[in-house]
Amino acid sequence: MRVLLTSVLIGGLAATLLFFWAYQKETRLQLERSSEIAESHSPALAYALWQFDKEQMSLIIRGMMKHTSLTYVRATDNSSLTVETGSRPYHTQVEQIPLRYNNIDVGTLEIAFSENSPVTKAASHALPVISSITAMLVALAILLFYVIHRVVTQRISRLAATVDSRLHNGIHVPINVEPSDYNDEIDQLMVSFRKLNEELLDELARNTRTQQQLGLANSELEQRVDERTRHLSQTIGRLNQTVADLNATQGQLIEAERLSALGGMIAAIGHEIETPLGLCLTMESCLRNDLLELQEQSHALTLSLKQDSENTASLSFDAVIESLDLLRENLRRATGLMKGFKSVTAGQIGDDSEWINLREAINQLIYSLSPSLRHTRHQIHLSCAEHISMQASPMAINQILTNLIMNSLNHGFQNIPAGEISIQVAEDRENIVIRYSDNGSGLSDEAKGKIFEPLFTTKRGKGGTGLGMHLVYNIIQQRMKGDISLEDTDEGVAFRISIPKRKAQRREKGRRAIYHTD
């Protein structure tokens, strides 16, 4: 169809050129005729105008109108004499020719030709040629269309249909193209296309294998990245936990060192003060004996004196003896306090190599404290499995729990008639965990912060020394290498105690603390 349209366009272009050429030719002939008319009639018209012979002018103009191509003729002397014939067209289609007689302008000749005469003549001359060319081009186009359709279009259409069918059905096998008997450029094109198809299929297969390998590699890489990310997250979590534990341990060590140093200082002060206090007690005893001897000697002397003097001496000796009693009582109290100061370093815990059953040991302690509970409604509840045991000194366990229980009785249950104390013992891997709690009045914020400091007591001046909880802290931290801490509770007070089960563990923990090893 495109060949036919191309032929028609070529034929139309050729016809247009032929018509234009014929039109130009007819136009040129018309100009030549107008020149001939002007040359042949201008002298006669100029003479008639010079003679003012209007009748002569009319005869000449009618003679000119006999030419078939002329449609309008007018002759004028540029003033009053005018002769014209025919219908005057638009002024642009009127050709003006000057009239001269003896080299003098006497007037103007105006003529106009038929507009259709060049077109009609050009069409009449070019039409046969145009018809012949058009017929030849149409015949040639039909022939070319048939040849191209038979030789080119059908073969390419079969190739395109085969390719489209394979693409639509997803068949990725080489196209079987058999060359024709023509062995022309189309056959070469089809063979080249088949080779290109085979190469594309090979490349597609390689790309598919590469994509599969790449997908497998990406999957393995993603798994590896996820695994590394998970391991990294776990490592970061462990590092954060280690840093938190190290910070907590550092705080505990600093606090333990501070309290230990403070306790050592107090014990040293107690040791230094105990000697002069003992000397004061000795001197008080000697002074009392001397006073009693002096009193017996003076008794005999007063027999000879008046009764009033005897009464006065007796009253003087009684006042001195009373002062000595007060001095001895306070010296004994000071000596007991100094012994308490000396014991804050670790107390007397005895041998810690034997294995003890914690349930039996704590039950014996509770039984020994029954006199303190006999006249109260306070109760002690113990939760401990029968098989739980540890390598420790019973005296250390007794000192720890005795101080805690006496603190509850003397401080926590001061205004509570019936209090309850709970002692829970459990195993946590290689540690023994003891949770001690009561439902007493609890601790203030100040007491929570200073509970383990030596000399801190809420009963200053009422018999409290402030050494019991510091002694508990030192026994657990220094000698047993454990931990004690306050727990948050809604009522009363709660302590959590964690102690290594074996002596070897405590010894190793102490060695690491000394040499700062992991």
Cα distance between residue 258 and residue 251, in whole Å: 10
Q: What distances in angstroms separate CA 178 from CA 161, 184, 187, 190, one per listed residue?
A: 15, 13, 8, 8
Amino acid letter, 293: E
* β-strand pairing of 104-113 with 95-101: antiparallel
Class of domain 2-135: alpha beta
Cα distance between residue 390 and residue 432, in whole Å: 8
Task: Centre a 10 Å sphere on the Cβ of residue 69 and count the other Cβ atoms it contains.
Answer: 17
* Those residues with Cβ within 8 angstroms of residue 311's Cβ, 6 or more apart along the chain or in another chain: none
* Those residues with Cβ within 8 angstroms of residue 98's Cβ, 6 or more apart along the chain or in another chain: 105, 108, 109
pLDDT of residue 393: 84
Q: What distances in angstroms separate CA 286 from CA 185, 274, 318, 349, 472, one per listed residue?
A: 145, 18, 17, 36, 39
The residue written with tokens 């070319």 in the block is 144
The model's pTM:
0.41
CA atoms 362, 367, 369, 373: torsion sign: positive
First to last CA, the chain: 95
Domain ranges, ordered by start, for the chain = 2-135, 348-515
Cα distance between residue 32 and residue 147, in whole Å: 51
pLDDT of residue 80: 73
Cα distance between residue 257 and residue 265, in whole Å: 12
* Per-residue confidence in pLDDT tens, the chain, 518 aa: 555 566 667 766 776 776 677 667 766 766 666 677 766 777 877 778 777 878 888 888 887 777 666 778 888 876 677 888 877 777 667 778 888 878 888 888 888 876 655 566 666 666 676 677 777 777 777 777 777 766 667 667 777 777 777 667 666 666 666 666 666 666 677 777 777 777 777 888 888 888 888 888 888 898 889 888 888 988 898 888 888 877 766 666 666 565 556 555 665 565 556 666 666 767 777 777 777 777 777 766 665 554 445 455 455 667 677 777 777 776 666 665 555 555 544 445 566 788 999 999 999 988 888 888 888 889 999 999 999 999 988 888 888 898 899 888 888 888 888 899 999 999 988 899 999 999 998 888 888 888 887 766 765 555 456 677 878 888 888 788 889 999 988 889 999 999 999 888 888 876 766 555 44
* Those residues with Cβ within 8 angstroms of residue 89's Cβ, 6 or more apart along the chain or in another chain: 71, 72, 112, 115
pLDDT of residue 282: 75
Angle between helices 116-148 and 2-51 (to 10 degrees): 170
pLDDT of residue 423: 95
* Those residues with Cβ within 8 angstroms of residue 369's Cβ, 6 or more apart along the chain or in another chain: 380, 402, 405
pLDDT of residue 432: 93
Which CATH number is associated with domain 348-515? 3.30.565.10
